[in-house]
């Protein structure tokens, strides 16, 4: 049976896609695995908002463990990289590989993510990480560009409707 795992970084980025998939009656769940988010209070806040959206739309929500130490290990030496640089390569891959492994272990047939929806992100960079995870796990990674066809504006409208908390930075706090 078809079952999609949608990897989410936060509620403002995912609310439009979750709403659309729920309206289309797609069999899917949202997974929140974001060891990149610092500090922990910020992580908890984003987690709670993403859960709130899923609960409102009656969509299953998978909460990954908060493991900042594995993110730090994966990105060590890349602290001074700019956003969209090599640190982000590792960050996307770490999260998408974990998602693909979860998907494989729990009967999901495909995976995608909203990691590239923000205009600050390099969409192709996210896709490359997802495809690497696909090659290593066999779980197809779908490279849907949710930013297109007004997707970003749709998400922004819904974020206002839900009065979602909107952060001012991606997740990590790299050394300057
Ligand atoms: S800027 Fe965002 S995607 Fe890049 S390493 Fe930091 S948390 Fe990860």
142, 112 contact by CB (below 8 A) = yes
Q: Where are the alpha helices (DSSP H) in the chain?
A: 11-23, 40-57, 68-74, 86-105, 123-137, 151-161
Q: Establish if 36 belongs to a structural domain.
A: yes
Separation of CA 88 and ligand 1 centre (Å): 5
| Residue in the structure block whose two tokens are 């956003």 | 83
Q: Establish if 130 belongs to a structural domain.
A: yes
Which residue, by CA, sits nearest to atom 2 of ligand 1?
Answer: 170
Q: Establish if 79 belongs to a structural domain.
A: yes
Element housing 29 (H / E): strand 28-32
pLDDT of residue 158: 98
Q: What is the pLDDT along the chain (176 residues), one digit of tens a residue?
A: 999 999 999 999 999 999 999 999 999 999 999 999 999 999 999 999 999 999 999 999 999 999 999 999 999 999 999 999 999 999 999 999 999 999 999 999 999 999 999 999 999 999 999 999 999 999 999 999 999 999 999 999 999 999 999 999 999 975 55
5, 99 contact by CB (below 8 A) = yes
Maximum Cα–Cα distance across the chain: 47
State which ligand 1 atom lies nearest to the alpha carbon of 84. Answer: 4
Q: Establish if 105 belongs to a structural domain.
A: yes
Sign of CA dihedral 49, 159, 38, 147: positive
Cα gap 84→123, rounded to integer Å: 9
Q: Which residues constitute the domain of residue 118?
A: 4-161
pTM of the model: 0.97
Q: Establish if 168 belongs to a structural domain.
A: no
In the DSSP assignment, the letter for residue 41 is H
Q: Establish if 176 belongs to a structural domain.
A: no
Per the structure, how many domains does the chain have? 1
Residue 30 phi, psi dihedral angles, 5° rounding: -105, 135
Residues lining ligand 1, Cβ inside 6 A: 36, 83, 87-88, 91, 170-172
Q: Establish if 95 belongs to a structural domain.
A: yes
CATH number at residue 121: 3.40.50.620
Q: Establish if 78 belongs to a structural domain.
A: yes
């Amino acid at each position: 049976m078809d079952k999609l795992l949608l990897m989410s970084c936060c509620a403002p980025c995912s609310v439009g896609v979750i709403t659309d998939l729920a309206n289309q009656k797609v069999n899917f769940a949202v997974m929140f695995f974001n060891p990149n988010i610092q500090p922990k209070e910020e992580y908890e806040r984003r987690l709670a908002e993403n859960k709130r959206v899923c609960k409102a739309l009656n969509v299953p929500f998978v909460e990954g463990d908060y493991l900042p130490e594995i993110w730090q290990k994966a990105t060590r030496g890349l602290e001074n990289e700019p956003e969209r640089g090599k640190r982000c390569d590792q960050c996307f891959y770490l999260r998408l590989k974990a998602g693909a492994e979860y998907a494989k272990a729990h009967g999901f047939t495909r995976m995608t993510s909203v990691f590239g929806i923000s205009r600050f992100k390099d969409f192709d960079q996210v896709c490359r990480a997802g495809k690497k995870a696909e090659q290593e796990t066999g779980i197809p990674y779908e490279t849907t560009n949710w930013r297109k066809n007004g997707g970003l504006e749709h998400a922004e409208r819904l974020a206002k409707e839900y009065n979602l908390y909107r952060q001012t930075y991606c997740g990590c706090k790299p050394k300057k």
